[in-house]
Amino acid sequence: MNGSKTRILIVEDEKIIGLDIKRTLERIGYEVVNIVKSGESAIDLAGELKPDLVMMDIMLSGGISGIDAAEAIRRKFDIPVIYLTGLTDEETFDKAKITQPFGYLPKPFDQKGLHSAIEMGLYKHKIESLLKQKTIELEEEKKKTDSLLMNILPAGIVKELKLNGSVKPRLFESITIMFANFHNFITLIQKYEPVKVIGQLNEIYHQFDMIVEYSGLEKMKTIGNTYIICGGLPIESDDHALKIIEVALKMTEYVQRLNSKNNHEWQLRIGINSGQVVAGVVGTHKFTYDVWGNTVNIASRMENSCEPGKINITRTTYELVNDIYDCQYRGKLNAKGMGEIDMFFVNGLK
Amino acid sequence: MQQSPRILIAEDESVIAIDLAKTLEKLSYKVIGSSRNGKDVIKKAGVLKPDLILMDILLDGKINGIQAAEEIMNTFDIPVIYLTAYADPATLEKAKLTEPFGYILKPFDERTLHTSIEMALYKHEINKKLKERTEELKIEKEKSELLLQNILPIPIIKELKEMGIIKPFDYESVTILFTDFEGFTQLATSMPPGELVAELNELFKNFDMIIHKYGLEKIKTIGDSYMIGGGFPIETEDHAVSIVKAAIDMLEIVKERNSNSKYEWKMRAGAHSGNIVAGVVGKIKYSYDVWGNTVNLASKMERLSMPGKINITAATYELIKNEFDCEYRGNVEILGNETIEMYFVNGYKSSKIKSKKEVVPASA
């Protein structure tokens, strides 16, 4: 006990017994906050007085039963209830058990029995509340762990990691990868307050994230002012190129709207390529899910060879999307270190 | 409880022991043994693993009930209820210290015995659960903290927890280093995916340890490229020196790896020092990142480096020249008509304890 007396509410319809309990409780050193006769007023007073414990006669004359009142008090106010049972009718006893009381006290009771029943009831309530609280905290912490893990790895990979304890590197035959880059970023940082520019970049990334989240594609990472997403991994799909183009168009439109509305000058270049990659998890600190292969390098070069506001794709991607998207052939253009590559701009839906 | 709880009796007076056993059986507990000697009780507790022990404080032999109870609770985590004929305060006080699960004063009645046992079993069970839950919670908290550290630098996590928000921040003087492997794509296509990722993972894991050793910040890996920084989020004076030290160690790791592996990794490194903005961006897969010309220039230094070499700008050179031997590469063209002065770091100055010269022969 924390110095102050334990406060007890008595629910007993027989006045003499009620007073007797009160006297005994006070002799032990408890405070009796009130004696009530009905289940209804027991619920009301429990809410109003917030006692530490309720002593409840199971058999109350008229109105709701002691069992129903106890159930309501426990549920609404989380106050422990100890039953006073004058009868040993088994059916009532079983019913009382369902309400998970914190103790039973058969009548007639003695002071010692009353004392230990109350102490045990309070102890049970305290420790069970503590256990409940720890369980809730644990659930919350597990959710936190999950969401952090999801911030690092794709959902499918998190699942594999949990199931097998490790992630197996894999070759994906056909995926699409997109590099989106604000190519005038350094100019913006030099022209305006850098911290503010980063703040705006963060807002744009949030918007991009929402577009990507909605599409079901995988955000790989951002590298400074470059935003990278993948389609067709870690779960293989047939429409990865189409989905990437759809997202690329949405991003381009968003940046255009932003620029016209706020007089911004964000120049977004998007490069896309399709092909095979190896994907896996590397590192101990800041471990990450990543992709490797020439497909990735070419996608990056496609972004380099793009023009602001445009979406530049390779022939491989073009073959996968040209039924649905209107594309414009740009010719064989030089991609740094890769020789000449066929390039196409995506204009929009056919 | 589906099965009746199994109880061990420790009592030196056999009449009482028998009476107790009878009462317990009547209450539908299972008496699995009885003992009159302290040493024997401990042994039996370990062998029989009862759910509960009723322990007389006075026992035969050198070990009394309190000592036996203490040993049993510590070693086997079995709850003990004391049976005591007398209420000698000193003994009770001593008994209390062992945190028993109850006392029963002799002569006992059936009802007291019953409630005391139920209470003891309940207390033991729920305390066990509480302990387990607390332990699980601790483990889970450590897990989530480690994951958070996988996303954000520790000082940034602290800021996030204290302020609830992380603002981008200007740093006047930091050093950024990039490394990558020349010819990686060709090497990658010649390797099975599992082996490729395992090789990279092995190298990066070692790099991670080096970074940790020098108190530097790993920013991220980008494919085969490893990106680190020094001088932020906590500002330091010696960021350039630490970065170069780390780069030397990393090249050393690669050299070692190459000597016992069928693959040859040709790592090049490049660094530059200057100002950056650092902050956290994104909603999903948010990350801590750096921006500014310093970053771009560092990346360029890496591309203009050579296998086994650390290529630095004049800005970094000025910060490390007292500690390292460097070789001037001249004014090299980087973009159109822009030029920049570059240096190769050859190693620690010969006066320094560590003396490492050429790390890997430059064979591009």
Q: Are residues A260 and A203 in the same domain?
A: yes
Residue A314: pLDDT over 50: yes
Burial string for A137-162 (b: 16+ CB within 10 Å, else e) reads: bbeebeebbeebbebbbbeebbebbe
When pLDDT is averaged across residues A176-197 and rounded to a whole number, the result is 91
Tokens of A37: 């006769």
Query: Does residue B126 lie in a domain region?
Result: yes
pLDDT of residue A213: 92
Q: How far apart are CA A120 and CA A126, in angstroms?
A: 10
Three-state secondary structure along A185-198?
Answer: HHHHHHHCCHHHHH
Q: What is the pLDDT of residues A68-83, one digit of tens each?
A: 898 899 889 999 998 8
ipTM of the complex: 0.81
Here the CATH number for the domain that contains residue B250 is 3.30.70.1230
| Cis bond before residue A108 (omega within 30° of 0) | yes
Query: Does residue B301 lie in a domain region?
Result: yes
pLDDT of residue A254: 95
Q: Are residues B53 and B126 in the same domain?
A: yes
Q: How far apart are CA A73 and CA A80, in angstroms?
A: 8
Q: Are residues A93 and A225 in the same domain?
A: no
User: Which of A116, A278, A287 is the closest to B196 by Cβ?
Assistant: A278
Mean pLDDT over all residues of chain A? 89
Is-contact B57 B91, C-beta < 8 A?
yes
Dihedral (CA of A299, A304, A309, A312) sign: negative
The reply to whether residue B197 touches residue A138, judged by beta carbons under 8 angstroms, is: no
Q: How far apart are CA B7 and CA B49, in angstroms?
A: 9
Query: Does residue A146 lie in a domain region?
Result: no
Residue B170: pLDDT over 80: yes
Q: Are residues A267 and A303 in the same domain?
A: yes
Q: Are residues B252 and B297 in the same domain?
A: yes
Query: Does residue A253 lie in a domain region?
Result: yes
Enclosing domain of residue A26:
7-133
Q: Are residues B236 and B334 in the same domain?
A: yes
Domain end residue (candidates: B88, B113, B131): B131
Residue A88: pLDDT over 90: no
Query: What secondary structure letter does DSSP report for B108?
Result: P
When pLDDT is averaged across residues A11-24 and rounded to a whole number, the result is 90
Q: What is the pLDDT of residues B286-317, one digit of tens each?
A: 999 999 999 999 999 999 999 999 999 999 99
pLDDT > 70: percent of chain B: 91
If residue B175 lies in a helix (H) or strand (E), which one and from where to where?
Answer: strand B169-181
Q: What is the pLDDT of residues A237-267, one digit of tens each?
A: 999 999 999 999 999 999 999 998 877 789 9
Query: pLDDT category, A104, cuts 50, 70, 90?
Result: confident
User: Which of A148, A168, A186 is the closest to B147 by Cβ?
Assistant: A148
Query: Does residue B1 lie in a domain region?
Result: no
Dihedral (CA of A194, A200, A202, A208) sign: negative
Task: Give the B window 133-162 contacts with A, CB below 8 Å.
Answer: 133-134, 136-137, 140-141, 143-144, 147-151
Residue B106: pLDDT over 80: no
Of all residues in chain B, the one with the smallest CA distance to A223 is B289
Residue A89: pLDDT over 80: no
Q: Are residues A209 and A322 in the same domain?
A: yes
The reply to whether residue B193 touches residue A169, judged by beta carbons under 8 angstroms, is: yes
Residue B359: pLDDT over 60: no
Distance from CA of B62 to the nearest CA of A (A): 34
Q: What angle do CA A46, A1, B137 make, to 5 degrees?
A: 90
From the list B138, B169, B181, B162, the residue with the least C-alpha distance to B281 is: B169
Query: Does residue B139 lie in a domain region?
Result: no
User: Which of B134, B277, B289 is the closest to A194 by Cβ?
Assistant: B277
Q: What is the pLDDT of residues A319-328, one digit of tens each?
A: 999 999 999 9
Q: What angle do CA A172, A173, A177 make, to 5 degrees?
A: 70
Enclosing domain of residue B197:
164-348
Total structural domains in chain A? Answer: 2
Residue B34: pLDDT over 80: yes
When pLDDT is averaged across residues A54-67 and rounded to a whole number, the result is 84
Residues in chain A: 350
Query: Does residue A140 lie in a domain region?
Result: no
Of all residues in chain A, the one with the smallest CA distance to B192 is A171
Three-state secondary structure along chain A?
Answer: CCCCCCEEEEECCCHHHHHHHHHHHHHHCCEEEEEECCHHHHHHHHHHHCCCEEEEECCCCCCCCHHHHHHHHHHHHCCCEEEEECCCCHHHHHHHHHCCCCCEEECCCCHHHHHHHHHHHHHHHHHHHHHHHHHHHHHHHHHHHHHHHHHHCCHHHHHHHHHHCCCCCEEEEEEEEEEEEECCHHHHHHHCCHHHHHHHHHHHHHHHHHHHHHHCCEEEEEECCEEEEEECCCCCCCCHHHHHHHHHHHHHHHHHHHHHHHCCCCCEEEEEEEEEEEEEEECCCCCEEEEECHHHHHHHHHHHCCCCCCEEEEHHHHHHHCCCEEEEEEEEEEECCCEEEEEEEEEEEC
Q: How far apart are CA A175 and CA A299, in angstroms?
A: 11
Total structural domains in chain B? Answer: 2
Q: How far is CA B176 from CA B231, B242, B273, in A?
A: 9, 11, 6
The reply to whether residue B283 touches residue A206, judged by beta carbons under 8 angstroms, is: yes
| CB neighbour list of residue B112: distance below 8 Å, 6 or more residues apart | B104
β-pair type (B267-281, B310-313): parallel
Matching residue, tokens 């607390």: B134
Q: Are residues B342 and B213 in the same domain?
A: yes
Query: pLDDT category, B116, cuts 50, 70, 90?
Result: confident
Q: How far apart are CA A113 and CA A118, in angstroms?
A: 9
Query: pLDDT category, A1, cuts 50, 70, 90?
Result: very low
Report residue A106: phi and psi, to 5°.
Answer: -70, 140
| Cis bond before residue A194 (omega within 30° of 0) | no
Q: Are residues A330 and A201 in the same domain?
A: yes
Query: pLDDT category, A87, cuts 50, 70, 90?
Result: low
Q: Are residues B69 and B196 in the same domain?
A: no
SS3 category, B34: strand
Q: Are residues B183 and B322 in the same domain?
A: yes
Query: pLDDT category, B355, cuts 50, 70, 90?
Result: very low
> What torsion, rounded to 10 degrees, do the Cα atoms A94, A95, A99, A103 define?
-50
The strands making up B30-35's β-sheet, listed across from edge to edge, are B30-35, B6-10, B52-56, B80-84, B103-105
Query: Does residue B336 lie in a domain region?
Result: yes
Here the CATH number for the domain that contains residue B111 is 3.40.50.2300
Query: Does residue B330 lie in a domain region?
Result: yes
Q: What is the pLDDT of residues B189-223, one digit of tens each?
A: 788 888 889 999 999 999 999 999 999 999 999 99
The reply to whether residue B293 touches residue A278, judged by beta carbons under 8 angstroms, is: no
Here the CATH number for the domain that contains residue A326 is 3.30.70.1230
Q: Which amino acid is at A86?
A: G
pLDDT of residue A97: 64
pLDDT of residue B87: 63
Q: Are residues A92 and A129 in the same domain?
A: yes
Domain end residue (candidates: B131, B149, B184): B131
Query: Does residue B152 lie in a domain region?
Result: no
Q: What is the pLDDT of residues B135-162, one digit of tens each?
A: 999 999 999 998 999 999 999 999 888 8
Query: pLDDT category, A137, cuts 50, 70, 90?
Result: very high
Matching residue, tokens 């994906």: A172
SS3 category, B318: helix
Total CB pairs under 8 A between chain A and B: 186
- Which of A110, A137, A151 best probes binding to B when mutated, by most B CB atoms within 10 angstroms? A151
Mean pLDDT over all residues of chain B? 88
A166 neighbourhood in chain B, CB within 8 Å = none
Q: Up-side HSE of residue A27: CA atoms within 13 Å toward CB?
A: 11
Q: How far is CA B284 from CA A4, A217, A224, B137, in A?
A: 50, 12, 15, 26
The reply to whether residue A195 touches residue B170, judged by beta carbons under 8 angstroms, is: yes
B289 neighbourhood in chain A, CB within 8 Å = 222-224
pLDDT of residue A139: 94
B201 neighbourhood in chain A, CB within 8 Å = 280-283
Q: How far apart are CA B341 and CA B329, in angstroms?
A: 7
Q: Is B58 on the interface with A (CB under 8 A)?
A: no
| CB neighbour list of residue B212: distance below 8 Å, 6 or more residues apart | A285
Query: Does residue B40 lie in a domain region?
Result: yes
Q: How far apart are CA B23 and CA B203, in angstroms?
A: 70
What pTM was computed for the model?
0.81
User: Which of B134, B188, B212 is the closest to A292 by Cβ?
Assistant: B188
Query: Does residue A141 lie in a domain region?
Result: no
Q: Are residues B223 and B175 in the same domain?
A: yes
Q: Are residues A65 and A188 in the same domain?
A: no
Q: What is the pLDDT of residues B217-251, one digit of tens each?
A: 999 999 999 999 999 999 999 999 999 999 999 99
pLDDT of residue A130: 92
From the list B271, B273, B268, B272, the residue with the least C-alpha distance to B359 is: B268
Here the CATH number for the domain that contains residue A41 is 3.40.50.2300
Q: Are residues A14 and A59 in the same domain?
A: yes
- Which of B197, B224, B338 best probes binding to A when mutated, by most A CB atoms within 10 angstroms? B197
Tokens of A346: 């995506």
- Residue A62: Cβ within 10 Å count: 10
Residues in chain B: 364
User: Which of B140, B196, B220 is the closest to A142 by Cβ?
Assistant: B140
Query: pLDDT category, A310, cuts 50, 70, 90?
Result: very high
Q: How far apart are CA B351 and CA B322, in angstroms?
A: 10
Q: Are residues B120 and B233 in the same domain?
A: no
> What torsion, rounded to 10 degrees, do the Cα atoms B114, B115, B121, B124 define?
-150
